[in-house]
Amino acid sequence: MKDFLFPCVLILLSLWGCQSRENGRTRKQLPKENTYETYPLTLEYAQNLEIHYLQGITLVKIGEPFKGSSKSLTYYFIPKDLTVPDSLLNEAIIRTPVERFACTSTTHLPALDLLGVTDRLVGFPSLKFVSSPQVRALAREGKVVDLGKDYSLNVEQVIEADPGVLMSYSLDGDYKDLGPIQKAGIDILMNADYLENDPLGRAEWIKFFGLLFHKEKEADSIFNTIASDYRQVLGQAQATGYGPTTFCGIDYKGVWYMPGGDSWMGKFLKDAQASYYWGNDTSTGSMELSFETVYDSAYEADVWINAHTFKSLEELGEADERYKRFRAFQKGTVYNSNARLTPEGGNDYYESGTVRPDIVLKDLVKIFHPDLLPNYKLYYFQKLN
């Protein structure tokens, strides 16, 4: 991918609408038969995504394709009834709307369901862990095939599924496994929504999918509803002016991974008006702490959130006797986000929860301030008994 040079691109694209003579021939222009009516999208919360409109072509920039990346990725979304300008022939081009689609992360699937384009999906890895009823139904009918594992894709199966676009992601910038797929004529489109730390910022990537399928208006409407609901619940929580103390996670092989104060979960806890012991931390990932460090700070915490995948206090206590020392364990105020599991162990919290932060926030507000939402029932979270 070439570096993003927005000023230069603007200059180049400004010339497409004008005719010029070079060696007696007229330079190619965008054809007049374009029937696609652009619905301009703006971004309010997403920090890792940019959208620019340039004479019928949408320029999409992903600022940080993977954590620590020094180079951005740029794509040109060009409607199928437009001719690709010569100046862009060596750029990353996605022809829209996409009719046959494959992706590699469960976080990519909820947008398809919400936009009503799940029937465009033809392939996905590790299908048994998918929560979406629509995708599972298509898989049973043989309309969506299993592509192996997300980081060990079955190249032959991907090529046979014949998607126009394969959406993937990278944790470290290693794209080599995608090379053979791209050489087969399948366009590769990276997604880095997971690097958004604001819950609404991550959910706003539904607009990215809206561009792919010419569902911009629908994506904008869906997100606006989600954001409005989120802000409403946020206002209710903030009006309390207080919050019970809380902490997260468990000790795993001698390391307790605690969400940073500015991480996705850290932001949720802050918005739910919880008194998170590490809320003042400024890291956006997970902190690596010792059991002793966590216990010294949080042994009297009111609530324990996301104690791994345990379904009962008994299971939690059996895993490590030391957990029983925490006040939250003794009070029975331990909550895990595993209320919606597939028979094979797929967790909908990590699927639809990424695009429905309004529901996640309602769950957390119900946990920390149950009187605010008296008739609400937990959706992603459940109390361990």
Series of mean pLDDT values for 10-residue runs along the chain (385 residues) = 40 36 35 65 98 94 95 97 94 97 97 98 96 98 93 93 97 89 96 97 98 98 98 97 94 96 97 97 96 98 96 97 98 98 95 98 98 97 98
Instruction: In the chain, list all ranges with CATH 3.40.50.1980.
Output: 6-225, 240-383
Q: Model pTM?
A: 0.90
Verify cis geometry, omega within 30 degrees of 0, for the bond prior to 133: no
CATH 3.40.50.1980 describes domain 6-225: yes
pLDDT tens for 241-270 read: 889 999 999 999 999 999 999 999 999 999
Q: Tell me, what's the pLDDT at 341?
A: 96
Beta-carbon count within 10 A of 57 CB: 21
The H-or-E segment that residue 189 falls in is: strand 187-190
Q: Tell me, what's the pLDDT at 35?
A: 56
SS3 190: strand
Return the structure tokens found at 114.
């919400």
Q: Tell me, what's the pLDDT at 14?
A: 37
240-383, which class in CATH?
Answer: alpha beta
Q: Tell me, what's the pLDDT at 92?
A: 97
Euclidean distance between the first and final Cα of the chain, in Å? 51
pLDDT tens for 191-226 read: 999 999 999 999 999 999 999 999 999 999 999 999
Q: Tell me, what's the pLDDT at 335?
A: 98
DSSP-H helix ranges across the chain: 6-14, 109-115, 133-140, 155-161, 179-183, 199-203, 206-213, 216-238, 264-271, 291-298, 313-319, 327-331, 357-368
